[in-house]
Amino acid sequence: MIEVFKTNVQDISTAKKVEQALTKALGYSNVSFDLEDCDSILRIEAASICSACVIHLLRTLECECEVLPG
């Protein structure tokens, strides 16, 4: 399963912090950002993805996040 999110992450250090938090808290191992995209895309590939959990975790890290419709 692949889920894609629009975020407000603008820099590599924040992206790395988010990637580490998602890996640690939710067990997602395939997490990546496309910071060159105008929507600062967060892409997660996993067997199961809890979008609400991802959004909540990013908000605790003071980042905005929303699911992009597929």
What digits encode the pLDDT tens for the residues 15-49? 999 999 999 999 998 999 999 999 999 999 999 99
Domain boundaries, the chain: 2-67
- How much is the pLDDT for 62? 97
Burial class (CB in 10 A: 0-12, 13-18, 19+), 63: buried
In percent, how much of the chain has pLDDT > 70?
100
Mean of the per-residue pLDDT values of the chain: 96
Residue spans of alpha helices (H) in 12-62: 12-26, 51-60
CATH architecture of 2-67: 2-Layer Sandwich (3.30)
